[in-house]
Amino acid sequence: MKAMKRARPRVPLKKRILGNYHWIIAAVTLLMLFIYGGAANNFSSLHIDPVSADLKISGTTFSLIYSIKSIMAMIASFFSGAILKKFGFRYTASFFLLISTVGYICLSVMKTPLVLVLVCFAMGAASSFCGTTGATNIISDWFHRHRGTVLGFVSAATGLGGSVMCIAQSAAMKRFTWRGSFMLCGICCGVITLLAFLILRNKPRDMGLEAYGEGEEITGKRRRISERAFPGMPMEKLSRSPSFYLMLLCTFLSCLGIYLAFNTIFPFLNKDCNYGEDKAASLQSAMMLLFTGTKLLVGFFSDRIGAAKVNTTCVIFGAASLLLLALSKTYGYGLAWVAVVLYTVSIPLVTITVPLLAFSLFGYKAQTQYTGKFIAAIYAASFLASPLSNLIRDLFGSYQYAYFLAAAILAADLFLYLLLYKMAKRDNQRYSSAE
């Protein structure tokens, strides 16, 4: 008689959930960026014309008011480290999601541009904590293994959320005008506020857990360096390190180069190159679709080959693609396709490569403080890029020359990044020796 197989002990459901709580954290964070980030992506593009008409303001005035969001996001990001360290991600994100919920509801019933100004102030501050800065903070606390891959999936949710929310908001606008679109965003933000408050926890130790993969070292072809082995410097030491300020400069320059083209590709192809709206729109759509995929790939390969190598690759692709994009005005639509496909590989420079590279260079000890400062550099580049690219077009008659400038900026920044990698390694070695 065959021996009966010993039945495996049944693990209680609560214990199974607790053991996989890392993935629950990732799922809720992804949903937060899907809803909040998706709605934020459509804020200006869907509402600028109908809101301006109803409030009797010009599109330029609407854009100027909307720019308040970028300014406030930059300021909030700079100070986000101290706020997150004091209050934790759970309470901070829940608070600002609630602020955004109230903000969208106020927008849905506003009668004066003053409401738009006040809401842009509040939601600009919320953008930092409910966007990349906040997501990077909580994912890095909960994941030591697969950090880049998980962060890639989570950050990609903003693009997918923008597409889905665009469809839903457009339907709401057709039935209830633009006010219905804002109300829909308010309801969705209200739901995710409740989920964030009830489910999110700041750190694994709050639930008696460890970060996923904490302390692991895998040798061989899939070797990874243990995150526990690289705490890095505390912020008071890091703030006196030359590599920290070089990282700020490199981040600003690389993001400036990318943003000089990001919002101008459609008008460049449509008007400057005379390819027409259909061809320009097809390239714009392809770019956004491919961008979602490149975020995932950048996160995945950062885990496999290192964030520095991935970041360097993105900078090289950015410089080459912008040069080709500028030349496509002379050499045709086919070259524009090649340029845009290559350009999508570089766009993660303004999203997930920054926190992943910073973590690999400076460790986890001061991560909460330094991440917001690097994200602030991204917002600063975004704020400057739009008026600069349009000024160049006004002076020279085409965005082509802005792309030449952007390619030159990224080429120079490549050498600064290579210098940064050496300086950061040297600074960490000096600090370790002193300790």
Q: pLDDT tens-digit profile of 193-213?
A: 999 999 988 888 888 887 777
Maximum average pLDDT range among 58-62, 162-166, 339-343, 405-409: 405-409
Query: The whole model's pTM is what?
Result: 0.77
Q: pLDDT tens-digit profile of 373-401?
A: 898 898 889 888 878 888 888 888 888 99
Whole-number Å distance between alpha carbons of 10 and 162: 42
Q: Quick check: helix, strand or coil at residue 224?
A: strand
Least confident of 16-20, 21-25, 72-76, 110-114: 16-20
The predicted model gives 357-363 an average pLDDT of: 88
pLDDT at res. 95: 94
Number of Cβ atoms within 10 Å of the Cβ of 169: 24
- The proportion of the chain whose per-residue pLDDT surpasses 90, expressed as a percent, equals 29
Confidence band, pLDDT 50/70/90 cuts, at residue 6 = low
With b meaning 16 or more CB within 10 Å and e meaning fewer, what string describes 273-294?
A: bebeeebbeebbeebbebbbeb
Q: Is the pLDDT of residue 100 over 90?
A: yes
pLDDT at res. 387: 82
Whole-number Å distance between alpha carbons of 348 and 325: 18
Return the sign of the alpha-carbon dihedral for residues 154, 160, 162, 166.
negative
Contact between residue 246 and residue 361 where contact means Cβ atoms under 8 Å apart: no
pLDDT at res. 255: 94
pLDDT at res. 215: 55
Q: List beta partners, residue 264.
A: none
Maximum average pLDDT range among 175-179, 248-252, 301-305: 248-252
Q: Is the pLDDT of residue 7 over 70?
A: no
Q: pLDDT tens-digit profile of 214-248?
A: 655 444 444 444 334 467 788 888 888 899 999 99
